[in-house]
A and B are shown apart, each in its own frame.
Chain A
């Protein structure tokens, strides 16, 4: 608690985005809410397919919930800036816009990391999802790569969300799309071929396959999947940086950014 600088950039960014304003509330919601999410999909899948499928679904949803947390927070970050009229001020400030976004992105990154680790602990304690020994280094690598690709995508997603007056529908549709097409509850190989190609262009799909392979629930080449996930993350990063710079130029030219929406 002492380590938290009350007026520091990260702490203020947190206070600006989150509805739970205390650490106690944060921890409570970040443990109970994901747990409920896992239980819901575990019950759905096990009552449909059988309890032997439970671990497969919970692992998918641990990665999915991390992605959902980061995407929502990135979108809220942009949305709040627009609501309180500070979006243009960020662009006008002498600090590069991308640097401001990256610094503000520390909060969603830490939140995502927390949710991922808590998810794996919940999986181990309550769903008996134990990792084979000796895989810890690959797991850490996977967590870093997954967070990287999801953050790169979230940056793009949050920028696009500024085009909508009410981004809730856009967010919910995107999350539902991820839930169905990223292989969260079933393998993407079950999708028709064009949809599988689309699924493999999304972040998370390869990470989920790699995570299941680490836990011996699937049998893929983990490093190969992680390589693809990095590549996808880099692609999204390039598009996101391009989009942010276009938005910045437009804002400087027009003196406003998406004000009429």
Chain B
């Protein structure tokens, strides 16, 4: 809990310019584009795009922050301290991934504030209780994805370049703009294997009070838990290899 609070304080501090754009300004940029595109064709339902703007900013933040969670320890020369610490590496990375997902929530809240008060968009939340529940589910799925990214990017020196490459495909695959149901079979299968797809589906379903919203949430939790267990064993393995050999991939 202490680490979680410290992380949130550090990343939301205005002196830390690394992620401020993603948290505070990216939603404004996307909403501005949506606002002017809406003028091209007036009869657009903007609710979906307000949520899309929030989800894009949340995902971008999680990708860049959690994706670099482990490799940045190498850059800052603090990885050896983490390995030597009495806390498991898994607990440290999970806390970071969790705190990053909670921080990403700021961009969602800001997206809604910008949408409502600057652009006069309708947000269209039918039931706030269910919506909050779906947000908790989304944060859990984002945390697990963040955890996996932290592990995957251990293999690469060009972390930021590869992060740029997966930013857009994930947004498109997870059904932010186009529902996954409309994808070709192969893409649909891949999309359903990503925990974030189900987290996003949960939020989208609660917005319209779909009869499938609880099943979406349940599937999201189950899929996320499977990845969480997988990640646990992989991080344990990484820890053992690092203690034994002192190096792994790019770290």
Residue numbers of A with Cβ under 8 A of B are 19-20, 25, 29, 32-33, 36-37, 39-40, 43-45, 47-50, 53, 166, 168-169, 172-173, 176, 179-180, 185-186, 190-191
Which residues of the other chain, B, contact A173 by a CB distance below 8 angstroms?
Answer: 21, 25
A185 touches B33 (CB 8 A): yes
Task: Return B105 CB to nearest CB of chain A, in Å.
Answer: 20
Give 9 nearest A-B pairs by CB, closest first.
Answer: A172-B21, A36-B168, A176-B29, A166-B17, A169-B17, A40-B168, A47-B177, A186-B36, A180-B32
B18 touches A166 (CB 8 A): yes
Chain A to chain B contacts (Cβ below 8 Å), 19 pairs: A19-B160, A19-B161, A20-B161, A25-B158, A32-B165, A33-B161, A36-B164, A43-B172, A47-B177, A48-B34, A48-B41, A168-B17, A172-B21, A173-B21, A176-B26, A176-B28, A179-B29, A186-B36, A186-B39
Q: Is B226 at the interface (CB under 8 A from chain A)?
A: no
Q: How far is the CA of A172 from the CA of B27 in the complex (A)?
A: 13
Q: Nearest residue in B to A167 (C-beta to C-beta)?
A: B17
Interface range, B side: 20 to 34
Which residues of the other chain, A, contact B32 by a CB distance below 8 angstroms?
Answer: 180
Q: Provide the B159-176 mask, 1 if CB < 8 A to any CB of A, else 0.
A: 011001101110110000
- Residue among B160, B177, B178 having the largest count of chain A Cβ atoms under 10 Å: B177
Residues of chain B from 136 to 166 with CB closer than 8 A to chain A in the complex: 158, 160-161, 164-165
Task: Return A192 CB to nearest CB of chain B, in Å.
Answer: 10
Task: Return A68 CB to nearest CB of chain B, in Å.
Answer: 11
Which residues of the other chain, A, contact B164 by a CB distance below 8 angstroms?
Answer: 33, 36
Q: How far is the CA of A61 from the CA of B29 in the complex (A)?
A: 15
Which residues of the other chain, A, contact B165 by a CB distance below 8 angstroms?
Answer: 29, 32-33, 36
Which residues of the other chain, A, contact B158 by a CB distance below 8 angstroms?
Answer: 19-20, 25
Task: Return A247 CB to nearest CB of chain B, in Å.
Answer: 23
Which residues of the other chain, B, contact A191 by a CB distance below 8 angstroms?
Answer: 36
Partner of A180, one of B20, B29, B172: B29
Partner of A47, one of B21, B29, B178: B178
A180 touches B33 (CB 8 A): yes
B168 touches A39 (CB 8 A): yes
